[in-house]
């Protein structure tokens, strides 16, 4: 926790055109709410992100009573990779080729990103236009493929890129987090996402990673089922709120 109750987000502010901050706390009481409101008024904040533990009854009630809007149920899922064997793990979609991403893949991956995140909290908050949230993920995947993520794989089918997956490594221990996954609409439900995910686990194991986790939305049941089939279990459940100070 920082000395202040919130953190100003310059990049989000510049990108979305609203003054945006993130709460530096995960629990609320009356005094914390007052401190957050005072800080946001002082810094002219228009939108505040707040991530709370789903088990905290007091925090949930205070968030609701103060106009925080629930935009996402976040599931954090994890598994150890000690028993994952890239040579013997299950395989499917034999017509899909997984390879490292190249700079030439950026435009097509951006196209895929623009239609891949209708489960996101930005999509479910009508303050963010469709054009803006699509551009947000297109910008994110570009940054990831240009060096922002250590893991960056794409899937090819019939000589066309139809999906991608990215992930970042911990600097302190042999852990990694999946970051972004996207599959072209016409290639979904054909095993592409499954092969990307498993190829990512292969990559992690070969790079000495022992533990992997990811965050997905409670409403994103297909992703939950896919990662559960590959041994991930729920670590925690959180609630994402947006508090707007403008109409």
18-66: pLDDT as tens digits: 999 999 999 999 999 999 999 999 999 999 999 999 999 999 999 999 9
Percent of the chain with pLDDT over 90: 94
User: For residue 210, which of 164, 170, 151, 150 has the smallest C-alpha distance?
Assistant: 170
- Tell me the pLDDT band of 92, cut-offs 50, 70 and 90: confident
| CA 168 to centroid of chain Cα atoms | 12
Q: Judging by beta carbons within 10 Å of its beta carbon (0-12, 13-18, 19+), is residue 56 exposed, middle or buried?
A: middle
Q: What is the pLDDT of residue 94?
A: 84
Q: How many residues would you count in the chain?
A: 247
Mean pLDDT, the chain, rounded, equals 96
Q: Which residue in the block uniquely carries the two structure tokens 């409670």?
A: 218
pLDDT at 68: 98
CATH 3.40.630.30 maps onto the chain at 78-236
What is the band of 1 on the pLDDT scale with cuts at 50, 70, 90?
A: very low
pLDDT of residue 2: 53
Mean pLDDT of 154-169: 96
pLDDT > 70? residue 151? yes
The mean per-residue pLDDT over the stretch 159-164 comes to 96
Mean pLDDT within 209-236: 96
Mean pLDDT, rounded, for 110-133: 95
Could you tell me the pTM of the whole model? 0.92
- For residue 91, what pLDDT is reported? 87
Domain 78-236, CATH homologous superfamily name and number: Gcn5-related N-acetyltransferase (GNAT) (3.40.630.30)
């Amino acid at each position: 926790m920082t000395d202040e109750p919130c953190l100003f987000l310059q990049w989000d502010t510049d990108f979305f055109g609203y003054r945006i901050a993130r709460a530096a706390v995960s629990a609320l009481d009356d005094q914390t709410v007052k401190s957050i409101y005072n800080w946001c008024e002082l810094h002219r904040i228009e939108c505040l992100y707040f991530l709370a533990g789903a088990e905290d009854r007091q925090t949930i009630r205070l968030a609701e009573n103060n106009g925080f809007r629930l935009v996402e149920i976040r599931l954090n899922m994890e598994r150890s990779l000690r028993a994952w064997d890239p040579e013997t793990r299950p395989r499917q979609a034999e017509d899909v080729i997984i390879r490292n991403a190249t700079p030439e893949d950026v435009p097509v991956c951006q196209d895929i990103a623009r239609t891949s995140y209708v489960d996101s909290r930005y999509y479910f908050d009508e303050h963010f236009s469709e054009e803006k949230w699509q551009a947000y993920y297109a910008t994110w995947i570009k940054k990831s493929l240009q060096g922002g993520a250590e893991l960056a794989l794409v899937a090819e089918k019939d000589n066309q890129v139809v999906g991608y997956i990215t992930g970042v490594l911990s600097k302190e221990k042999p852990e990694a987090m999946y970051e972004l996954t996207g599959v072209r609409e016409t290639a979904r439900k054909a095993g592409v996402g499954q092969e990307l995910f498993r190829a990512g686990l292969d990559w992690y194991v070969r790079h000495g990673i022992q533990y992997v986790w990811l965050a997905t939305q409670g409403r994103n049941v297909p992703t939950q089922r896919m990662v559960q089939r590959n041994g991930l279990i729920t670590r925690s459940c959180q609630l994402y709120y947006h508090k707007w100070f403008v109409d």
